[in-house]
Amino acid sequence: MSEFLKSRTLQLIIMISAFLIVFVPYFTSIPELSTFSTKLITITAIANAFTLVLAVYSQFRRGINIVQKRRRGWYFKVWMMLSIVLMCIFALLGQDTGPYHWVMFAIINPLSSVNYGILAFYMASTCARAFRARNMKALFLLSAGIIVLLYQAPLTGAFFPGIQPIALYLNNTFAMAAARMFLISVTVGGIVFGVRVLLGQEPSVIGVGKEA
């Protein structure tokens, strides 16, 4: 019995049943089926929220590991773990004012913004150092890029309205077509990959691989 419970067959049966319960009612209009499927969807939404515990657990495990071995900079890890706990305590004290609100606006919000804002620098430096018209293709890329960049600077359009139609043409035809083509091909790829998982061809996805 326990062998069966641990077997891949059971996992696949469960996965395919869940799949069918959610998939089939969408194409039918039988209210009982839809209600059942909506319930399962809500159930998985709740279950999904639990997965964050796994991420927190792995963060704590690595942090504690570094602290125990007194590796260089271990006190930063102590601070990191302490701040996780602090944030949870602050939340209990109230969320509109007080320390929770303070942490939100003094730490989380600015650092979140920097985390992505910094990409502007990396991108600019890549452009400056790596964007060379090495060959014909690169020349095409650069020319189109410069036209759209010029258009995106709001001032250009005000003084030189002729840039707008050209840039919009590039954006709404070439770029849009490429995006559409990517969508078509990647979507089929994604569904095919899903079918492979449902067929049990990609065991590593559910976690049957060599992981601990």
Partner 1 sequence: MVDIIEISIVAVGTFLAMAMFSTLYGKSNPLYSLAEESYLGFGTGLTIVINVLYIWKTGVVNIQAGDWILTFGLILGLMILLRMNKNYNWIARLGIAVVLGAQFALSFRTLIFTNFIQQISATIVPLFTGTGTELLYRWTITICVIVMLTFFLYTTELKGPLLWSSKLGEYLLYIAFGAIFAQTFMGRLGLFTGFMQNYTVPPWQTPYLLASMIIVLAIVIILDRTKTIDKWIPEE
Partner 2 sequence: MPSLFTIPGIINGRFLGLVLDILIAISVIYYIRSKKQIFVRRVPGLDAIEEAVGRSAEMGKPIVCSFGIASSGFDYWTLAGLAIMAHVARLSAKMGVRLIVPTGGSDQSLIVRPVAEEIVKDAYTLEGVGDHFNPDDVPFLSGQQYAYVGGYVGILQRLRPGSVVMTGSHASDAMNIAETSNAIGAITITSGSYLSNTAALACASDYILIGEEAPAASAYLSTDPAQRASIRVQDIFKWLSIGVIILGLIAVAMGSSLVTNLLAT
Partner 3 sequence: MANNGGILKFMAEYDRRWIYLLIFVVVVAPLLQPLGFPISVSPDTEVYHKILADVKPGDKVLFTLDTEFSGYMEIQSGIIASMRILLNRGAKICVAVGHPEATSIPQLVFDACSAELTAGGYQYGRDYVNLGYILPNESAVAALAEDFHSTVRQDAKGASIAGTFLDDVKDWSSWALIADFTTGLGTAYLRAHFALRGTPMTVNVIGVMSPTERPFYDSGIYKAILNSMRGGAELEYLIGHPGPGMTAMDAFTLGHYLLIGFIIIGNIGYFGYSRRQAKKT
Q: Which of residues 76-135 bind partner 1 (CB under 8 A)?
A: 76-77, 79-88, 90-91, 102-121, 123-124, 127
Binding to partner 1, residues 51-70 (CB under 8 A): 51-57, 59, 66
**Tokens in use for 101?**
């609100």
Which x/- pattern, by CB under 8 A, does the window 97-126 give for partner 2?
------------------x---x--xx-xx
State the sign of the Cα–Cα–Cα–Cα dihedral 99, 105, 106, 108.
positive
Identified binder of partner 3 from the candidate list 45, 54, 85, 212, rule CB under 8 A: 45
Q: At what angle do helices 52-68 and 31-50 cross, to 10 degrees?
A: 10
Q: Does 106 bind partner 3 (CB under 8 A)?
A: no
Burial of 3 from C-beta contacts in 10 A (0-12 / 13-18 / 19+) = exposed
Contacts of residue 10, defined as CB under 8 A and 6 or more positions apart, other chains included, come to 4
What mask of x and - would describe binding to partner 2 in positions 128 to 167, judged by CB under 8 A?
-xxxx----xx--xx-------------------------
Q: Which does 81 bind (CB under 5 to 8 A by kind): partner 1, partner 3, partner 2, none?
A: partner 1
Distances in Å between the alpha carbon of 56 and those of 50, 99, 185?
11, 22, 36
Q: Which of 152, 185, 187, 201 is the binder for partner 3 (CB under 8 A)?
A: 152
Residue 114 contacts residue 108 (beta carbons within 8 Å): no
Q: Assess 176 for contact with partner 2 (CB under 8 A).
A: no
For residue 16, the minimal CB distance to partner 2 (Å) is 11
Cα 126 to Cα 28, 119, 129, 150: the distances in Å are 51, 10, 5, 18
Q: Which residues are CB-neighbours of 4 under 8 A, at least 6 positions away?
A: 10
Residues at the site binding partner 3, with contacts judged by CB under 8 A = 34-35, 37-39, 41-42, 44-45, 48-49, 101, 104-105, 108-109, 112-117, 120-121, 124-125, 127-129, 131-133, 142, 145-146, 149-150, 152-159, 161, 164, 168, 171-172, 175-176, 178-180, 182-183
